[in-house]
């Protein structure tokens, strides 16, 4: 846990210190009437996270009190989401239906106390009698029924002697209460419907406000944590438990702000409409904000957890920029996935002065990613490049191939255009080119200067794949319904071409297609015969500087997006923010999401500028400031921080010098936040210096290989993915202190 605790954890600690509870027990109580979405991920992280932090446990409980909407498939989707995010609910999944007999007994108890009655007015009358915020309500005449009559009617309701809606059970509280939730709320209603667990045993079902608090009590829950929309329901929660006089300890409800994300709908009702209406392929459509959708699209659990950690826990509702979630997945994948070449819109290039074929050695990872791995890329006379990587008329700032401008083939040679071949309609269908034999990447002695490198594939060796280009499902920042769906949210390319190693060697399931974005082998539709890849996210925020054409702007002026208005921001940037944004993106080369966060937050940008004065490492500093420092600055002023800009610069310097790893840097930062100690001192005192000495690492590698003979055999038989297993074991064994680059290299040598 970080030193700066949110208000929920502070409450938990207060209760523990006061001896209110012996053990912290939370619960995650979704209704199984749809697939869980990103908002549920936040709730999962809070409830399971708090339980873990205080050595308690969290129950997974299905709130299955509405048989007309619930289904076993939703139960399984909820279980899968919790497991995928890395949380454990123990031996048993709880269901509210487990407590139906006991809840019925509690309802009988309230009737006998004169605190509940069977009402027989219709819904329209009930709404009319409820009153308004300014006017007291009017109690139903049926509230005067005797206890005996209420008991008899309630039993008949249970026995199925009445139709749906003919009667309800209501609490007798206060029809003039300022909190309208207390104006004789419903406790039970009749539903003649088949329940997926209790079958037809029951035809009356408890309402949420009655079942929820009592289920918490029966499970021994200490802290019932829910979203802010249930704040007014807290009075009913307390009324039921207090009126029944249940034995202590009893649970108490605490609320936090629910997650709202722009360009996204979080209503399960609206999401169900999309599924049933065929606007998406299902609950796991990669455009859906469901956990299943993110999972199928290729998001990692680490990116979701990091996003939930970054947005924090607040008491007031607010809108989060979807670009922040996209930043989290880019940030995670950037350090993990292989880089490969794929051509989405092929244009044939014939290299006239080249004969035969060869293989070019190329690393899967850039120098700043601490992973090892390479492949051989076939090169031949006929290749394909992206159509938009050739331009016949050289525009300003265009650095790719033109009739007068050579370009480098990524990892390969420099080529020069010699002739442009067109069809009868004037469309370019082929480029005749020459290559420069002495210009091979890494061995270039040609002296030719080029300003960019483009991706390409060999015509005879490339593999054809289907690529699904996903974009945001809604085009409006605050979507209302189907009318706001983005018509370009999915584009399918059936004939994209990719270098063969991706398909034949399968070095991973997630890749960065260079200059295109991050992609994931679809876990359902992918096959060796028909490879299918989903676009996870672009390399940078393609929405950040989109502008609407004048024609469209005239038609929809309220939906205009100015160039300086980064997507997701509620207001355009002011002049000072725009100037910072331009500086950060153009001069310091920060990506647009990071630049947007810094430019819009005065405290954050001020701190960032101070660190820059200490160390010229803008990208590394920005990454730590927007992720780690930002969390602390949410609730503190700069002069309240226990660390300063100089110390952050020292931390980044150790990271840049590979004295410590990224994992250790996070640990050191947490310690700095708590005690304000110099990071160099923390690293020295705790022995956190990154281990790069092969003499220390090799014995650990040998021991791990010796303990895993089966995996060693599988690796030698061709399962090269197990390299990651051995590397991971070494890093785990050293507490994350071993240098990943060194470990990768040494493990690779030892496994040969």
Q: Which positions are catalytic? A: 31, 258, 268
Q: How far apart are CA 380 and CA 520, in angstroms?
A: 28
Residue 330, φ and ψ in degrees, nearest 5: -60, -45
Strand order across the beta sheet in which 25-28 lies:
25-28, 57-62, 94-95
What CA–CA distances, in Å, run from 579 to 587, 603, 626?
A: 11, 16, 19
Reference 371, options 750, 743, 749, 751; nearest CA is 743
Q: How far apart are CA 2 and CA 668, in angstroms?
A: 11
Q: How far apart are CA 106 and CA 253, in angstroms?
A: 20
Residue 165, φ and ψ in degrees, nearest 5: 80, -5
List strand residue ranges (DSSP E) for 233-373, in order: 252-256, 259-261, 318-320, 339-340, 342-343, 346-351, 357-363
Under a CB-based contact definition with an 8 Å cutoff, are residues 542 and 566 in contact? Answer: no
Under a CB-based contact definition with an 8 Å cutoff, are residues 291 and 40 in contact? Answer: yes
Q: What is the dihedral of CA 201, 204, 206, 208, to 10 degrees?
A: 100
Q: How far apart are CA 180 and CA 342, in angstroms?
A: 60
Q: Which helix (H) or strand (E) holds 742?
A: helix 740-750
Residue 109, φ and ψ in degrees, nearest 5: -60, -45
Reference 267, options 38, 2, 566; nearest CA is 38
What CA–CA distances, in Å, run from 344 to 14, 398, 502?
A: 57, 20, 15
Under a CB-based contact definition with an 8 Å cutoff, are residues 607 and 640 in contact? Answer: no
């Amino acid at each position: 846990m970080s030193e700066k605790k949110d208000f929920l954890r502070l409450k938990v600690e207060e209760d523990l210190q006061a001896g209110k509870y012996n053990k912290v027990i939370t619960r995650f109580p979704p209704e199984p009437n749809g697939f869980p979405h990103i908002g549920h991920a936040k709730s999962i992280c809070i409830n399971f996270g708090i339980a873990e932090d205080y050595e308690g446990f969290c129950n997974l409980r299905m709130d299955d009190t509405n048989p007309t909407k619930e289904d076993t498939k939703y139960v399984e989707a909820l279980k899968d989401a919790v497991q995928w995010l890395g949380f454990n609910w123990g031996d048993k999944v709880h269901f509210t239906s487990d407590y139906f007999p006991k809840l019925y007994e509690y309802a009988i108890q309230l009737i006998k106390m004169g605190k509940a009655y069977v009402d027989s007015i219709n819904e329209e009358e009930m709404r009319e009698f409820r009153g308004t915020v300014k006017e007291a309500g009017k109690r139903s005449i049926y509230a005067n029924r005797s206890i005996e009559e209420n008991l008899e009617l309630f039993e008949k309701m249970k026995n199925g002697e009445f139709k749906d809606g003919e009667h309800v059970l209501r609490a007798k509280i206060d029809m003039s209460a300022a909190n309208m939730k207390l104006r004789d709320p419903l406790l039970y209603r009749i539903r003649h419907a088949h329940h997926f667990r209790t079958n037809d045993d029951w035809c009356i079902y408890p309402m949420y406000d009655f079942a929820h608090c009592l289920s918490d009590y029966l499970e021994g829950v200490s802290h019932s944590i829910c979203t802010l929309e249930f704040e007014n329901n807290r009075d009913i929660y307390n009324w039921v438990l207090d009126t029944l006089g249940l034995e202590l300890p009893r649970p108490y409800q605490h609320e936090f702000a629910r997650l709202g994300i722009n360009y996204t709908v979080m209503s399960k009702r609206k999401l169900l409409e999309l599924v049933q209406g065929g606007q998406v392929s299902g609950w796991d459509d990669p455009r859906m904000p469901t956990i299943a959708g993110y999972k199928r699209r290729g998001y990692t659990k680490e990116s979701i957890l990091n996003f939930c950690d970054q947005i924090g826990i607040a008491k007031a509702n607010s809108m989060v920029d979807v670009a922040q979630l996209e930043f989290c997945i880019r940030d995670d994948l950037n350090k993990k996935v292989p880089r490969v070449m794929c051509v989405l819109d092929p244009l044939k290039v014939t290299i006239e002065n080249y004969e035969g074929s060869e293989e070019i050695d190329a690393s899967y990872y850039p120098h700043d990613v601490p992973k090892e791995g390479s492949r051989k890329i076939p090169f031949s006379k006929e290749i394909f490049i992206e159509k938009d990587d050739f331009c016949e008329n050289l525009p300003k700032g265009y650095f790719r191939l033109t009739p007068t401008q050579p370009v480098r083939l990524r990892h390969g040679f420099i080529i020069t255009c010699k002739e442009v071949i067109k069809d009868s309609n004037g469309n370019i269908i082929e480029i005749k080119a020459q290559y420069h034999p002495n210009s091979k990447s890494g061995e270039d002695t040609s002296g030719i200067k080029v300003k960019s490198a483009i991706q390409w594939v060999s015509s005879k060796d490339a593999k054809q794949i289907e690529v699904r280009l996903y974009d945001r499902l809604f085009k409006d920042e605050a979507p209302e319904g189907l009318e706001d769906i983005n018509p370009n949210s999915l584009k399918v390319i059936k004939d994209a071409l990719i270098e063969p190693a991706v398909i034949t060697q399968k070095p991973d399931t997630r890749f960065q297609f260079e200059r295109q974005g991050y992609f994931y082998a679809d876990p359902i539709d992918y096959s060796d015969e028909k490879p299918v890849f989903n676009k996870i996210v672009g390399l940078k925020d393609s929405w950040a500087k989109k502008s609407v054409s004048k024609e469209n702007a005239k038609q929809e002026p309220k939906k205009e997006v100015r160039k300086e208005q980064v997507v997701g921001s509620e207001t355009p940037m002011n002049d000072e923010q725009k100037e910072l944004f331009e500086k950060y993106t153009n001069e310091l080369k920060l990506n647009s999401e990071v630049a947007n966060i810094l430019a819009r937050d005065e405290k954050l940008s001020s701190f960032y500028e101070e660190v820059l004065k200490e160390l010229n490492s803008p990208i590394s500093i920005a990454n730590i400031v927007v992720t780690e420092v930002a969390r602390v600055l949410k609730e503190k002023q700069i002069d309240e921080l226990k660390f300063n800009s100089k110390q952050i610069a020292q931390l980044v310097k150790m990271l840049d010098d590979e004295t410590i790893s990224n994992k250790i840097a996070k640990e050191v930062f947490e310690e700095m936040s708590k005690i304000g100690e110099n990071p160099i001192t923390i690293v020295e005192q705790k022995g956190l210096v990154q281990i790069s000495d092969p003499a220390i690492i090799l014995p650990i590698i040998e021991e791990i290989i010796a303990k895993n003979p089966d995996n060693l055999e599988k690796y030698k038989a061709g399962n090269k993915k197990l390299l990651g297993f051995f590397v991971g074991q070494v890093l785990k064994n050293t507490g994350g202190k071993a240098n990943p680059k060194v470990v990768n290299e040494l493990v690779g040598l030892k496994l040969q």
